[in-house]
Amino acid sequence: MDRLAHISNASNPKRYLTNIRDASQKIWFRLDLSWRWAIGGVLAVRLLYGLWSLVILFISPLAVQNLILNGEKVVSVFDLHSSQGHLYERTVNGQTLTFRPAGQDELIDVQTGTKWNVSSGQATTGKLAGRYLSPATTQVEEVFPYHGVKPEPADWLAVWQRFDTTWFQKIAEDGYAATDGSTAFFPLYPLLIRLVALLVGNSLVAALLISTFALLAALFLFHKTAIEYADVESANLAFIYLLIFPAAFFLLAGYTESTFLALALASFLFARRRRWLVAAIFGWLAALTRGTGILLVIPLAYMWWNQGTKRRLQDAIFALLTPSGAATYLLISNLGTLKSYQTAWHASLVFPWEHFTELGRLIANHLVTPTDILNLIVALLFGCICIFVWLKITPELGLYAASMFLIPLFGLNPGQPFVSMSRYVLVIFPAFILLGKWGKNAWVNRLILYPSFLAALFFSAQFWMWGWVG
């Protein structure tokens, strides 16, 4: 009968396709609801940002920024297709020029309408024809840092080779160095890149694959967690809000956000189920991924204590093992992370309110950027949300949210108030669960969806064009 059915299907392609569709639907709907959301979410955002990056490559092949670096007025130009960067002084005959793209390998200055060749810096047509832009004293590597890693030749992949990604590639390929700032990055993610690169032969591809699969796991665990602390409708909305957050593209990039989020969520869920040894292992791995993983011990300790008469001493010991991952790395590196933040990254220990002082200085000097505004809004919004998480959901989620929110505010890089807050809050999953609960109100839902989606398109494009986002 099976053979006859196969012959019948082969002779009737329409019926054959229908059978395949029906079988696929059966398999799909047998999957756990959270797995369906996770798989669909990863595919949706990969497709969205993949297509959007191709649009950016087509409409803006040159990334041009008019900057002031170390007191020097410069124009930076980066070719998104060839991954070649150029840096020139933009003062000619005492006049400061402002540049914008003018086609393939050409710039035009706003003041005189002169066209300039990007590769040579020579004015080709216009009022200043024949003149040259002087090379900037700032090195190109300082603006477009690759840290010795080879630029990716495929432009559709190269748009993801930005900032911290190149650091992780550098560590995966060449290891740590004591004085270059690399010890600021914790070891688990670059170790995974090194291992996967042995299979795929490319550290950038390895980083993106790790982030993609980590995101799949994180979304599954996040949806599960949101259902447990809220309800299915809130979980669905929280899931969407996370994926359209303005900095959500970092979850797909060669960054640690997805990996850390997956490990932190796994630690939480296993602790909630009183499987403390497994929870401790995931917490330990999270602390090897990012230094803030040390703080997982705070909500885990509360969860253990809150178990009342059912708590066991050995479970407490397991919970306290969580920060040992980060502690081990700090000892092995001879506190290299802390030294890197102070020397290579010029970060200093401050009180959180000093970020407002630095922001005021930028505003007074007309140096504030859209990214600064985004980070300010995110810091204010999530600061309030963390309070409501404690009051409206549970204290353990409030402790986690407050820890992940506050610790970055105790460090300050000169000229970068609230630096990377839009990225750091991605791992504050309780905040998105609370937004999911609030989002059941139609007006709140619209207020979150529309601005977030538009901002996500804007800031992802800025990231691909070597604009600092987080």
86 and 182 assigned to the same domain: no
Q: Which of 58-67, 132-141, 172-181, 211-220 has the lowest mean pLDDT?
A: 172-181
pLDDT band at 22 (very low <50, low <70, confident <90, very high): low
Q: Domain of residue 198: give its range.
A: 164-464
Q: Backbone phi, then psi, for 394, in 5-degree steps?
A: -145, 155
- With contact defined as beta carbons under 8 Å apart, do 464 and 78 qualify? no
Give tens-digit pLDDT for 59-115: 999 999 998 888 899 999 999 999 999 999 999 988 999 999 998 899 999 999 999
Evaluate if residue 173 carries a pLDDT over 80: yes
What pLDDT, in 10s, does the model give residues 208-238?
A: 999 999 999 999 999 999 999 999 999 999 9
Q: Which two tokens stand for residue 276?
A: 């403390």
Q: For position 227, what pLDDT does the model report?
A: 96
Q: What is the CATH number of the domain that holds 94?
A: 2.102.10
Q: Are residues 210 and 266 in the same domain?
A: yes
Residues 379 and 279 in one domain: yes
Structure confidence at residue 324 (pLDDT): 75
| pLDDT at position 93 | 87
pLDDT at 11 over 60: no
CA distance 291 to 329: 9
pLDDT at 54 over 90: yes
Regarding whether 180 and 77 lie in a shared domain, the answer is no
Any domain includes 447: yes
Q: Tell me which of 87, 111, 143 is where a domain ends.
A: 143
Asked if pLDDT for residue 354 goes beyond 50, the answer is yes
Based on the fold, state whether residues 344 and 278 are members of the same structural domain: yes
Can you give the pLDDT at residue 409?
93
* Same-domain status, 288 and 225: yes
Q: Give pLDDT, residue 4.
A: 47
Residue 149 in domain: no
Q: Is residue 14 part of a domain?
A: no
Q: Residue 161 and residue 173: Cα distance in Å, rounded?
A: 15
**Average pLDDT rounded to a whole number, residues 166-188:** 91
Do both 120 and 208 map to the same domain? no
Taking only the tens place, the pLDDT of each residue in 373-386 is 999 999 999 999 99
- Show the tokens assigned to 95: 């006049």
The pLDDT assigned to 91 comes to: 92
Kindly state whether residue 15 falls inside one of the protein's structural domains: no
Mean pLDDT within 236-252: 97
Residues 91 and 221 in one domain: no
Does residue 46 sit within a domain? no
Does residue 326 have a pLDDT over 70?
yes
Asked, for residue 56, whether it belongs to a domain, the answer is: no
109, 143, 177 — which closes off a domain? 143
105 vs 115: CA distance, rounded Å: 10
31 band by pLDDT with thresholds 50, 70 and 90: confident
Instruction: Please give the residue that has the higher pLDDT: either 250 or 305.
Output: 250
Query: CB under 8 Å, gap of 24 or more: what pairs does 343-349 form?
Result: 343/179, 343/181, 344/179, 344/180, 344/181, 344/184, 345/181, 345/184, 345/413, 346/413, 346/414, 347/411, 347/412, 347/413, 348/411, 348/412, 349/410, 349/411
Q: Which residues pair with 87 in a beta bridge?
A: 76
- Average pLDDT (340-361) is 83
Angle at 286 between CA 294 and CA 261, to 5 degrees: 115
Same domain, 122 and 169: no
Q: For residues 425-436, give the mean pLDDT.
A: 97
DSSP string spanning 195-226? HHHHHHS-HHHHHHHHHHHHHHHHHHHHHHHH
User: Mean of the per-residue pLDDT values for the chain?
Assistant: 90
How far apart CA 247 and CA 452 sit, in angstroms, is: 9
CA 73, CA 67: separation in Å to the nearest integer?
6
Higher pLDDT, 328 or 281: 281
pLDDT of 190 > 80? The answer is yes
| Number of separate domains in the chain | 2
pLDDT over 70 percentage in the chain? 91
pLDDT at 68 (0 to 100): 86
Residues 199 and 318 both lie in one domain: yes
Position 312 pLDDT exceeds 80? no
Given a cut of 70, whether residue 47 has pLDDT beyond it is: yes
pLDDT surpasses 70 at 344: no
Same domain for 301 and 341: yes
Residue 20 is predicted with a pLDDT of 63
Same domain, 128 and 185: no
pLDDT greater at residue 302 or residue 339: 302
The structure's pTM equals 0.91
Instruction: Please report the DSSP string for 242-299 in residue order.
Output: HHTSTTGGGGTSSSSHHHHHHHHHHHHHHHHTT-HHHHHHHHHHHHHH-GGGGGGHHH
Q: Please tell me the least confidently modeled range out of 51-60, 212-221, 250-259, 297-306.
A: 297-306
The label of the residue with tokens 């989002």 reads: 439
